[in-house]
Each structure stands twice: as C-alpha cells, then as structure tokens.
Amino acid sequence: MAEQDLIARLLAPLATHPAARGLKDDAAVWAPPLGRHLVFSHDMMVENIHFLPQDAPADIAWKLAATNASDLAAMAARPAGCLLALGLSPAADTAWQQAFITGLSEALTAFALPLWGGDTSTSPTLTLGMTVIGHTEPSQALARSTARPGDTLWLSGTIGDAGLGLAMAKGDISPVPYLLARHHRPTPRLELGQTLATRATAALDVSDGLLIDATRLADASNVALHIHLDRLPLSRPARALGLAPLTAATSGDDYELLFTAPPGETFKATAIGTVHEGQGLHLFNHNQPEPVPARLGWEHEV
Amino acid sequence: MAEQDLIARLLAPLATHPAARGLKDDAAVWAPPLGRHLVFSHDMMVENIHFLPQDAPADIAWKLAATNASDLAAMAARPAGCLLALGLSPAADTAWQQAFITGLSEALTAFALPLWGGDTSTSPTLTLGMTVIGHTEPSQALARSTARPGDTLWLSGTIGDAGLGLAMAKGDISPVPYLLARHHRPTPRLELGQTLATRATAALDVSDGLLIDATRLADASNVALHIHLDRLPLSRPARALGLAPLTAATSGDDYELLFTAPPGETFKATAIGTVHEGQGLHLFNHNQPEPVPARLGWEHEV
C-alpha cells in the first residue's frame, strides 16, 4: 500500500484530536494547558527482541502504547498525545496492519492518549516506536533521584505475572488466560501515577524486573533500599503455580509502579520495604537477610 | 555494549539541557514558554531505504536531525528539543556509534535542538527515528491547507542538488563536493521558516520532490498552483552539469521550503509561481503550458 493510503485509510480515522490536524501537515500542533510542565518519552519495540512474530498484532499495538504510557505514569503525568513510528516488514500485510490499528485504537482509548502524528516506512524488520507527551502541574513530575531515607517503598499491583505469561506464550508452561493477558496487555498505572504527584518522593515503572529497577532507583537517589521478599504482591494465579518471590522480583514487563513516600501515606499498593542511608539493594525474607542474586532482571544489549 | 553504558558514555554527554534530566528518568520534563503552541514531528530513517549502509555514520545522524528539523521549519516553529530512537544493527559497532554521535552533536548544535531523551535497542536492521518538539507564538504554526488564490508561490534555496548528490553517492556520476554535501548534509531552513509565521499563508518542506509536494499543498488548500519551470532556482554546480528544471522538480531530499504569501511580500527565496482558483498543478515554461509528468517525485510504499 502507498504510504499516503495507509495514513488516510488506517491512521487518519484514529487521529481525530485537533492537534493531529488530520495527519495532513508536516507536524502536529498543540496548545498545552497554561503553565503545565510537559513530559516526553519514546520507547521502541523490535520484532524478535521485544515481541514474537506470532504475537497478535492487536496485542503488539496495545503493548507499544502501554509501555510508553507507563513512562508517563511513572512521572505522575497525565497523557496528552502520541506519535507513532511504524517500520513495516513485508510480513506485516494489510490484514496485519488492520489488526494492529484495532489494538492501537483500543489502547489509545483506554489510556486517553490521542494519536497526533508519526511516520511510516517499509523495513526488513518490523520495528515500532511511539513518542508520548504528557503534562503535570508545575514541578510535579516525579524523578528517580529523590527518594529519602525514612521513606516507605511501595509497589503497585502484582509482579511476576508477565514473566509467567511470556513463558506461556513461548509454550514453556500451560497457558493461564489471566497471566497471558498480563504479558500481552499490560496496564499502565496512569491513575495511580497521577495521585503520586504530590504524595510520592520518587518513582519509576518496573519494566526490566523489580530488583534491577529498584537498584536504579537506589543508585539515582544515592540511598539503600530494603526489600522484603515475603511482602511482594503475587497474584492468585501466580501463587497457584508456585511462583517464587525471587523469580517474580527478577522477571520483567509487569509495568507496575515502584515508588517511595514518607511514612504515614497510604496507597492502593503494597508496602514492600524501606529507604535507608547507604547504597544498593538489601533483601530480607521474614526479616532475615537474603543474598542479592547475580541476575537482577533484564539487561539490554545494544 | 550494554544499553546503560551506551546511554552513559555516548548519549548523556549530549544531553546537557535540563529537560533531559541527564537521561536518568523515565521521561524528559520541560516547562514550555508560557502560552506558546507546541509542534511535534517524528521521522524515521531505515538502512537501504533512506540511506546506504556505506554512508558515513556522522552524515546519517546529521540527516536524521536535519529532516526532522525541516518539519519544524515548515511549521514556522522554533526548535525546543528532540528524542532519539536508535535501533542498532550488529554492523553499527562502537566506532560506528561514536561517529554517529559526532555527527548528531554537530547537527543538534547547528540547529539549536537539544537532546532530551529517547530509546535504544538492538535490531537486525539499522533503524533510526527522531521526534522533534518546537514552539510558535499562539496560532502561528503554518499549515498546508491555507494557500489562497492570488498568493505568490515561493521556494527557498535551490532544488535538484540532493538528487545529483545521491547519483554521485551511488557512483552514477562523478562527484562534486558541493552537491554531495547537499545530499549528505541538508540544511533545514529554520531561520527562514520562523520569519514565515506571520507572513506566509501556507508552507511545507520539499522532501519527496517539488512537484509531488506542490501537489500536496494544492490538494490540501483546494487551489490550483501555476509553476514556472524557467524560474526554478538551480545551483551553479547543478547548472554546470546541465540539470533540467523538470528533473530538478521531481528529485527529492532538498529540504527547501515551498510556501505561499500574499503578493507584495518579499523573501530571501525565489518566486516560482502563483496560486489560483481550481485544482492541481499547472506547469509553464517561458509562459507556455507544459505537460505535467506522470512521475512527480518519490512515492513511498509501506
């Protein structure tokens, strides 16, 4: 299909927000709410690296939008709009593209994230990218570097579900629909994220694994984090499969929020540890120290 | 190289703007000038489609930034910042990456376009993307759809140079340094673009060829464009090679600005035609009608 046709037939119907200008100009134009701070992130997804070729195109689209929206959630930002980068391989034919657009539309509706623009190209490898734009009240975007000794460490939702779902998608273990869905259709914690703006001291989203992302938060804030493995929130289906807390803490793609807040604050989340003077990660199980494993999660090579 | 090392060693030194937060958070955070309209664009470049594998990595980086900045110029926007998407193939080794970053740094300095963030991944195919963010005074972002009958049609710089440069890069004709540079290192017309905000009625950048981009402007504005081939601005090196105006008008990648303005306005640009009631493209040579060729420029397939 010619690029102009793809844009007109599949993308323009999604781009109804005025900032998109019907995808007819060289760029999108947006008048932000006066005085807000703006938040920008771009995440890529490459075939055979971030997803499997046999994954449903609608799920791939959902995940692309969800992982990007999760970065907004981690900054306590409200979604404003997004740009889509589509590098379409020959295998991504018209039927694939239509299914992708269906999943994209579902995700963008669910996350209140209008499509503003982007670019399309042919590519030998299916390569997807998204830029998300969000906004916060002035100086309320969260950071990783501002956790303080004495804070409580919180985690939203449950962890380890997406890792089990990935093993199911690969055929390594029998499928459980809830866990497969947690892998294919993660939920960015946008609502929780926005409530953190004035209440949390630091935050990030857990994409590569709780322990590796917690290490990043500890390093950025120059503090020590104590994490209690026995307090980690596991879903009922994950517990039914006997998922070990340490395995849950080193598997990725859950897109939960890990954040710190002064003691006394409460959240729809689980208190899993505490922030201390010092450095690095310190694990406990029923208050007994546990060794920190060599592998903390997914480390990406480039 | 681990992703964290690439970011810390090569990208973080470029990301000195406060919005980048040292590339240490999940997203960039920017406080825009109060009351401005914001402009967003994303352009991709894929190996063997948008550039040749043997192209110098510094030139590839320059062109990625230049083509994106050109979209800001076409909207009359001032650059604010950018996000970089790097899908690095195995051939893009550390030396390649360092040369790429050198060219990127030159371009971002030249265009006053700070690096705010982005993403990196491995990829079987070298795939690059950039999101640019710019700003204009309220309601001063230009569009393609607002040319008016009676306007004059203007073109910045010269056209056909990059097409000759591409033929030289491929070894089809003997190299001329000026023309090769026009292919490898296009100049986005940012300064001119910003002066158009209050003076032009419509604009776009010439990326796929003058005739195809002029057709897009005519269609979007629902007007007819009369273009005088004998008035097309050709560079001295292009004229020395005997470049025909019609060839110049159907070759791409010059990244000049094509814009319309009321009669009486003057610009550092060439008046190449006029806007009329009606539709489509009408060509003239020394005031005699010329047939419109079947091929107007580069039409992308996806």
pLDDT band at A53 (very low <50, low <70, confident <90, very high): confident
Mean pLDDT along residues A257-266: 97
Between A26, A38, A46, which is nearest B71 by CB? A26
* B65-122 pLDDT, tens digit each: 999 999 999 999 999 999 999 999 999 999 999 999 999 999 999 999 999 999 999 9
Q: Does domain A152-290 have CATH number 3.90.650.10?
A: yes
- Give the C-alpha separation, B137 to B150, whole Å: 26
Q: Which of B3, B25, B120 to mutate to test the interface with A (most CBs of A within 10 A)?
A: B25
Is residue A249 within 8 A of residue A229, CB to CB? The reply is: yes
Out of A84-88, B49-53, B99-103, B148-152, least confident range: B49-53
Residue A129 in contact with partner chain B when CB distance is under 8 A: yes
- Mean of the per-residue pLDDT values of chain B: 95
Spell B59-83 as b/e; 16+ CB within 10 A means b: bbbbbbbbbbbbbbbbbbbbbbbbb
CATH number of B3-136: 3.30.1330.10
Which one, of B103, B170, B93, B83, lies nearest residue B126 by Cα? B93
Between A31, A40, A77, which is nearest B37 by CB? A31
Distance, CA of A85 to chain centre: 18
* B185-202 pLDDT, tens digit each: 999 999 999 999 999 999
Helices (H), B123-260: 161-169, 177-184, 190-196, 210-221, 236-240, 245-248
The domain limits of chain B are 3-136, 152-289
pTM flag (> 0.90): yes
- Give the C-alpha separation, B233 to B288, whole Å: 18
Residue A279 in contact with partner chain B when CB distance is under 8 A: no
* A216-243 pLDDT, tens digit each: 999 999 999 999 999 999 999 999 999 9
Superfamily classification of domain B152-289: PurM-like C-terminal domain (3.90.650.10)
Out of A208-212, B15-19, B183-187, B294-298, least confident range: B294-298
Instruction: Compute the residue count for chain B.
Output: 302
pLDDT attached to residue B122: 93
Residue A277 in contact with partner chain B when CB distance is under 8 A: no
Cβ contact (<8 Å) for A118 and B83? no
ipTM above 0.85, yes or no: yes
Residue B135 in contact with partner chain A when CB distance is under 8 A: no
